[in-house]
Structure 1
Amino acid sequence: MALTAQSSSSGGGDLLACWERAQQRLRAELGEDIYLSWFARIELDEVEADGLARLSVPTRFLKSWIQSHYADRILRAFVAETDQVQRIELAIRTAGMRTPITARPAAAAGQAVQNAADTEGVPSAPLFGSVSAASADLHGGSLAGSPVDRRLGFESFLVGRANALAHAAAKEVAQARPGEAIRYNPLYVHAAVGLGKTHLLHAIAGAAEAGGRRVLYLTAERFMFGFVSALRAQTALAFKETLRAIDMLVIDDVQFLQGKTVSAEFGHTLNALIDGSRQIVIAADRPPAELESLDDRLRSRLAGGLSVEMGSLDEELRLQILKLRVAAAREQVPGFDVPPSVLTYVARSITANGRDLDGAVNRLLAHNTLTGAAVTLEMAEEALRDLVRNREPRRVKIEDIQRIVARHYNVSRADILSARRTATVVRPRQIAMYLAKVLTLRSLPEIGRRFGGRDHTTVLHAVRKIDGLINTDNALADDVDLLKRMLSE
């Protein structure tokens, strides 16, 4: 018998909280990069009475890798948080299985929020396991692509300041007609987790297929899995022919692409498609220059098209998302109502990404339907206290400051560390030193050493210079505020 919120005195919510704490343990032990690469998409489906915790992941590749490398570590982290778990089992999640333990206390209510997540600008996790109609025709489906979710279209994508450019570029690429000159190739979209890039890729693929183009949608994991399987089965030639017989290749999460042979084949495929005037659309969690697993030539090829960043959701956009979530939930649970003051509180307090907003609405809905308590500001503060508390400012590193300032002012980090004295380099260098002083606990001599071995008096001059200019130069003040926000996210 599954141990859910309905069948256990401790409650599914308590088990979910234990699982979330276990995830935080893994994040702390392994570091942010490894956690996001392999653990961010694991979901807790249920815990059975005999202590078996059933977890799910979206792809076979991810399941195989986690079972081989991290299963024991996951179990230890979970056992450390609850004695109700004694062993774990990992399964591949399909479209019909997306009912995590949080949705079970009120099936209709949870489904309402899930439906909202699937029809708005910040996506739920991508779906895997079947082939879209267009890609299925390619050599009889010799390379099975991930399905294109028709619900994730342009009409359901909420547009704000942070994603307007990416949205406009995506629509132009998607609506281009066969035979037209390709303007942006490849189109490279990068953003942090939960900001809508996967939704945008589904929208592009869906619109292009509707326009008659042959589209193959893949994740980097599926590309790797398909290529390695083709090598083992000695069908690599058919694999390559499938990829190069399409009109548009859409690849998500390219930061997961690993291995010299796989990266080389990926580069050959990109070159063949671009040279053949075929459209390529790619998404990742970082810009091309920061894809350390790829060689310089491939990073340069990716940066040679149009690279667009989707920034953090602003408060207005977060408020729109919340209103849509609540409206969708209300269709299934007519008595559910969230006052404007609570919506404003949630939009201001939860700033990381759209998935956290989903979680906030889920919690308000669960408290309302399970306890009968009206949704008030006091109830929201209690229900969401750990979500809000966990949003502590991140520790800023000097290397991050140098990288982000360099990218903002279109110079290289090497320029900032160099002895160059041109105006295009001096001002970004001074701003980076200023931010290092105000955002870190490093001393002036330490900051000077980290900026190419400069004297502490040079750093002090830069700090005073920028501090004075901020009071008189509004454009500079806006730039510094923007950089502070980017570094704190």
Structure 2
Amino acid sequence: MNDLRDISDKASRENSSTSTNNMTQHNTLQNPLNDAQTSHINAEDIWHIVQGKLRSTLGERVHKSWTGQLAFQSENEHSVALTAPSRFVASRIEGKYGDLVRSLWAENDARDVEICACADVRTSKPVDKNIPVRKTTQPRSTQTQPSQNQSFAPSFSQVKAQMSAQNPNREADLRRDRFTFENFVVGPSNELAYAVARRVASTTEPVYNPILIHGPHGMGKTHLLYAIKEAAIAQNPHRRVRLISAEDFVATFVQSVRAQGRSEIDAFKSSLRDVDLLIIDDAHFIADKPGSQEELLHTLIALVDDGKQILLASDRHPHQIDKASERLKSYLCGGLLCDINACDYELRLRILDRLIERRRNNGYPSLAMPQNARDHLAARINATPRDLEGAFSQVVARLEFLGRPLTLESVQEALAHSRYSSNTRPTVDKIQRAVTKEFNISMDEILSKRRARAIARPRQVAMYLSKMLTTRSLPDIGRRFGGRDHTTVIHAVKRIEALRAEDPALNKSIENVTEALKG
């Protein structure tokens, strides 16, 4: 028991970052069902108990924001249905907290737990009684027996099956179909991580161990993790795959230790080690939690020794994770490190094309965005794919509600009203000076009438960026380039747009100028 006390001491120090409730509430809820109570408690009472444990495990803020929005909907012999106020909330809870909800429910009742949106239950048609209900594989130690005159609403398993028969695409929508390999846009900045992810999903033999995908928030790491999970199970339904966030890892670990029983800790270890593929998101979250770090390290070692695959994602390189133990850093660095860097201009354009295609396939078939408007968005939003998607969504929504078409001018105006507007928008003069520095020419040369390519091409780049990054009119831009006509500016913009599709070196120079302007 000494090792158990050591683990308990470490976990208790992490309590403040994973729970806001005290031990009294947890102990009250620890064993809510005894043999005498089992036959009398109903599903709603069990849900009340589970809610208390969720609040204790996740903390009041997280519980109120997510799992606290779940409500008991219905039950039958094989399953219970919990509903969320929207499909987005249901999807979020399912992906991030679904395993925890089911684990806590299973402590009191072995029936399946299905999480759905209220709209999915209300709008469904009567369920065919011949539709089979998926049964739990877990032995039922406690059975809630319904009374003879009790009527049940259809379980979510039945609702989903009926909806899928009526609309095959609906089931995919409910299963986070956005996070697939097919929807992941690949470029030089993420091609290694993508290739490794595909290999992990397609083979049962460990590729490298462990694998860590690292990069800033919003780069697509979580997208890849879910794609791996879905593809791995689709290719081999018998493959045991577990995807868990580091936050949930810590919360569940602390809960198991606070239970002060070897069986709870063993159950926690088993849930992570009895798998063929373990995927952990946001691994950096565990950095300042020494007890959880030690447990994670032991889990990684056990799985590697057993020939199982491990893949983690973090927002930084192991050596940059503050307060991570040297042993954990060393172990992670001993595997394969795949970084995801900032998207280049071409990749941002392709992401925009994919966003437009997806929107057309989801109720807006006539959506049209001219190429110059796409170029402007891709040039202006040069941060993460998530930022680019956010800017695109805000622009499209604003113009849709205002009943205005998507044009370069309207997109520029919409961005000016969004959080992506810049209080330090570059001036034409600043753009010219940044271009002269990048291409090693003088300001006099860029304003001159010289037509030599070494001078003319940088001049066209400066005109192009002036059009993309400022609100100056074409005639005004022309005047600032030695009194040129607006048609010269139009020609320069079109020429650079065409060259960007085929000249990587020019693309890189434009990226350098854009980055310099941000400074």
Q: What is the TM-score with the length of structure 2 in the denominator?
A: 0.50
> Aligned partners of 1:199 and 1:486: how far apart in 2?
30
| Kept in 2: contact 1:150–1:202 (CA 8 A) | no
Answer yes or no: is 1:338 the counterpart of 2:369: yes
Equivalence for 1:64: 59
Answer yes or no: is 1:368 the counterpart of 2:394: no
Letter in 1 for 2:240: R
| Structural mapping, 1:33-432, within 5 Å | 64=59, 66=61, 90-92=65-67, 97=86, 127-131=95-99, 149-177=176-204, 180=205, 182-210=206-234, 211=236, 212-233=238-259, 234=261, 235-257=264-286, 258-331=288-361, 332-385=363-416, 386-390=418-422
Specify the SS of the correspondent of 1:281: strand
> Aligned partners of 1:279 and 1:138: how far apart in 2?
25
Equivalence for 1:72: none
> Aligned partners of 1:321 and 1:187: how far apart in 2?
26
Percent identity of paired positions between Structure 1 and Structure 2: 35
> Aligned partners of 2:394 and 2:355: how far apart in 1?
12
> Aligned partners of 1:280 and 1:487: how far apart in 2?
41
For structure 1, the residue ranges without an aligned partner over 5 or more in a row are 1-36, 39-58, 69-88, 101-117, 119-123, 142-146, 394-474
Specify the SS of the correspondent of 2:212: strand
- Pick closer, same or farther for the CA change 1:60–1:157 going to 2, 3 Å: farther
Specify the SS of the correspondent of 1:262: helix
Letter in 1 for 2:223: H
> Aligned partners of 1:346 and 1:99: how far apart in 2?
26
Specify the SS of the correspondent of 1:154: coil
- Pick closer, same or farther for the CA change 1:125–1:228 going to 2, 3 Å: closer
Superposed CA RMSD: 4.0
Larger radius of gyration: 2
- Pick closer, same or farther for the CA change 1:269–1:390 going to 2, 3 Å: farther
| Kept in 2: contact 1:191–1:285 (CA 8 A) | yes
Residue by residue over 1:151-203, the C-alpha shift from the partner in whole angstroms, topping out at 9 and shown as x without a partner, is 422222111010011111111122113xx3x2311110001111111111111
Residue 389 of structure 1, CA deviation:
3.4
> Aligned partners of 2:375 and 2:57: how far apart in 1?
38
Residue by residue over 1:106-128, the C-alpha shift from the partner in whole angstroms, topping out at 9 and shown as x without a partner, is xxxxxxxxxxxx9xxxxx99932
| Kept in 1: contact 2:245–2:280 (CA 8 A) | yes
Equivalence for 2:5: none
| Kept in 1: contact 2:57–2:252 (CA 8 A) | no
| Kept in 1: contact 2:96–2:245 (CA 8 A) | no
Residue by residue over 1:360-417, the C-alpha shift from the partner in whole angstroms, topping out at 9 and shown as x without a partner, is 2222222332111111212111111244434979xxxxxxxxxxxxxxxxxxxxxxxx
Residue by residue over 1:82-140, the C-alpha shift from the partner in whole angstroms, topping out at 9 and shown as x without a partner, is xxxxxxx744478874659xxxxxxxxxxxxxxxxx9xxxxx999323249xx998978
| Kept in 2: contact 1:152–1:202 (CA 8 A) | yes
Specify the SS of the correspondent of 1:156: coil
| Kept in 2: contact 1:159–1:167 (CA 8 A) | yes
> Aligned partners of 1:170 and 1:237: how far apart in 2?
30
Residue 486 of structure 1, CA deviation:
11
- Pick closer, same or farther for the CA change 1:194–1:295 going to 2, 3 Å: same
Letter in 1 for 2:357: A
Equivalence for 1:79: none
For structure 2, the residue ranges without an aligned partner over 5 or more in a row are 1-16, 19-53, 71-83, 104-111, 113-135, 141-173, 426-504
What is the count of residue pairs matched by the alignment?
297
Residue by residue over 1:29-69, the C-alpha shift from the partner in whole angstroms, topping out at 9 and shown as x without a partner, is xxxxxxxx99xxxxxxxxxxxxxxxxxxxx9799627579x
- Pick closer, same or farther for the CA change 1:222–1:159 going to 2, 3 Å: same
Letter in 1 for 2:421: R
Deviates more, 1:258-267 or 1:277-286: 258-267
- Pick closer, same or farther for the CA change 1:308–1:392 going to 2, 3 Å: farther
| Kept in 1: contact 2:66–2:93 (CA 8 A) | no
| Kept in 2: contact 1:254–1:284 (CA 8 A) | yes
> Aligned partners of 1:140 and 1:201: how far apart in 2?
31
| Kept in 1: contact 2:57–2:255 (CA 8 A) | no
Equivalence for 1:105: none
Residue 300 of structure 1, CA deviation:
0.6
Residue 207 of structure 1, CA deviation:
2.1
> Aligned partners of 2:400 and 2:313: how far apart in 1?
38
- Pick closer, same or farther for the CA change 1:352–1:97 going to 2, 3 Å: farther
